[in-house]
Chains A and B, each alone.
Chain A
Amino acid sequence: MHKDLPAGLTNQLFTNTGNSSFTEFLGSFAPQLLPVRDERLATPIGDQVPHATTIVAASFAGGVVMAGDRRSTSGNIIAQRDIEKVFRTDDYSCMGIAGTASTGIEMARLYRVELEHYEKLEGRTLSVAGKANRLAAMIRGNLAMAMQGLVVVPLFAAYDPDRDAGRIFGYDVAGGPYEKERYDAIGSGSIFAKGALKKLYREGASADDTVTMLIQALYDAADDDSATGGPDVTRKIWPVVSVIDADGFRRLGDDEVAGVVQRMLDERMISPDGPIAPLR
């Protein structure tokens, strides 16, 4: 059987005439490499594996920004202080993960190959809606594991060249996608982050203002949710911030983010709850 041979040593690589989905090719060629769908887990183990927490995203004029905090937790323990939960998936899209960290990271890795594989075989990139649908199918495939406690819910953001605008898609454990207007947040701190974004979001804001907006929202989430990490000034661990516009995906450097965070902290020394929205 071909499965006994190292990948590539069979003619199957040259005779597969199915569609351009990498996931489906992987499922037929080497199904053992798909993210595990073990339905035999006796007890939910959700609390014992690290969980990723808060991701926020907001669109601006001509693009979209996504940001995530750096904490992962197992129960009451901080599992990692500097985990990265926002991933570039192709030149014009990215995804953030909340829920079981390991499952989410694996999903992001597969999803990146999925998008690139299609692009290389077909000679064109998938439409934004096509990308969002593929991710939904992947999450639905994880439903059995989610019922056992290994929940992973991503947030997907992409630049759409047809509209010259950023678009945001949310999901639930059974799939999706749900297109979100303006902004969205996922993870344990998302309630607080959304509350902040509701008051801070400005139509037609610049990319820089939107970055500030998201960092404020993450701070508010960390303020009230123990599983969300605030900026770690002593260790110099800053949120991961990614901007996608017509020029493509760009992850902001640590210096850039540190500058925005520092300015916010200076303001919060005076007004600890952050910017105050006008009453009317």
Chain B
Amino acid sequence: MPFGYASPEQIMRDKADYARKGIARGRSVVVLQYQDGILFVAPNPSRALHKISEIYDRIGFAAVGRYNEFEELRLGGIRYADINGYTYDRSDVTGRGLANLYASNLGRIFTESIKSLEVEVVVAEVGDTADDDAIYRLTFDGSVFDEHGFTVMGGQAEAVLGRLKERYQEGAPLADALDVALTVLTEPGGERPAVGQLEVAVLDRNREHRKFLRLVGPRLERLLQRPAGEAPAAPASTSQEGDDDGAPTAPEGPLDDGS
């Protein structure tokens, strides 16, 4: 325990400042709705340490901050979802339930531990229609924000969010939404991250069974090459499509075709 008296306000403020500094150190992650669901985009040079992940049939996860801390949250979320889906029914696992679980854990750690978690998390759930989609953003202190359409976290979040507000279009096709995400993630005048430096995934409501799909390799390149505005709805759907190299692969592989 530290010596001397510090007011609770001071302690909380210090903890919050500490967490904010840690989170702002990394790169931003953008989560936004598009025509067929929800798109996650994260500049991430690592091919092994993911910032974006599948939690359950309709639920995706994105995080910024300390890897080991949000990885714990991710694993706990998967256990929560699988336990509940097995106990009741697969349709009974909801993004709201998961967001509440994360909120209570983050909140408890923020108040009880000396060091709060340096993470910010998005839990996104794709519905049958765009109106049923849900994006929850959770901060290090356990606050939950019910976002509409899009959200940004980590890095220069304020600046990126400002640019995203100007450019975001409701119901945009995948290629256009991806273009917007990359534009806002790039500082004005800067250079866009290369394909190998990007982690991109979608929750596509048209897919069967598992909606989560990583976009990697040739498929991502094709999407990026297509000039914005010109392309029709990008087909990242249908169970028959996952055959860029024919291999059944896990999320880190060229595709995660959960048909």
* Distance, CA A88 to CA B249, complexed state (A): 16
Asked whether A120 lies within 8 Å of B86 as measured between CB atoms, the reply is no
**Given known A91-B248, A119-B250, contact A14–B73 (CB-CB < 8 A):** yes
Answer whether residue A1 sits at the interface, using C-beta atoms and an 8 A cutoff: no
* Chain-A contact segment, one of B75-83, B147-155, B170-178, B226-234: B75-83
Across chains A and B, the number of contacting residue pairs, with CB separation under 8 Å, is 98
| Residues of chain B within 8 A of A30, CB atoms compared | 83, 87
| Residues of chain B within 8 A of A116, CB atoms compared | 82, 210
Size range of the interface on A?
A: 35 or more
Cross-chain contact of A125 among B104, B210, B242, B248 (Cβ < 8 A) = B248
| Residues of chain A within 8 A of B210, CB atoms compared | 116
**Given known A91-B258, A120-B251, A123-B250, contact A33–B82 (CB-CB < 8 A):** no
Asked whether A33 lies within 8 Å of B257 as measured between CB atoms, the reply is no
Answer whether residue A7 sits at the interface, using C-beta atoms and an 8 A cutoff: yes
| Residues of chain A within 8 A of B105, CB atoms compared | 11, 14
* Distance, CA A92 to CA B251, complexed state (A): 14
Asked whether B79 lies within 8 Å of A113 as measured between CB atoms, the reply is no
* B98 nearest CB neighbor, chain A only: A8
Asked whether A123 lies within 8 Å of B242 as measured between CB atoms, the reply is no
* Chain-B contact segment, one of A74-82, A243-251, A270-278: A243-251
Question: Could you give, for residues 1-41 of chain A, a 1 whenever the CB lies within 8 Å of some chain B CB and a 0 otherwise?
Answer: 00000011101011010000010011001100100000000
Cross-chain contact of A25 among B54, B79, B243, B253 (Cβ < 8 A) = B79
| Residues of chain A within 8 A of B179, CB atoms compared | none
Q: List 28 A-B contacts (CB under 8 A).
A: A7-B84, A7-B87, A8-B97, A9-B104, A13-B80, A13-B101, A14-B75, A16-B79, A33-B86, A91-B242, A109-B86, A110-B86, A113-B85, A113-B86, A116-B82, A116-B210, A117-B78, A121-B78, A122-B250, A123-B250, A123-B251, A124-B250, A125-B248, A246-B243, A247-B239, A248-B239, A248-B248, A248-B259
A-to-B contact residues, CB < 8 Å: 7-9, 11, 13-14, 16, 22, 25-26, 29-30, 33, 88, 91-92, 109-110, 113, 116-117, 119-125, 159, 161, 164, 246-250
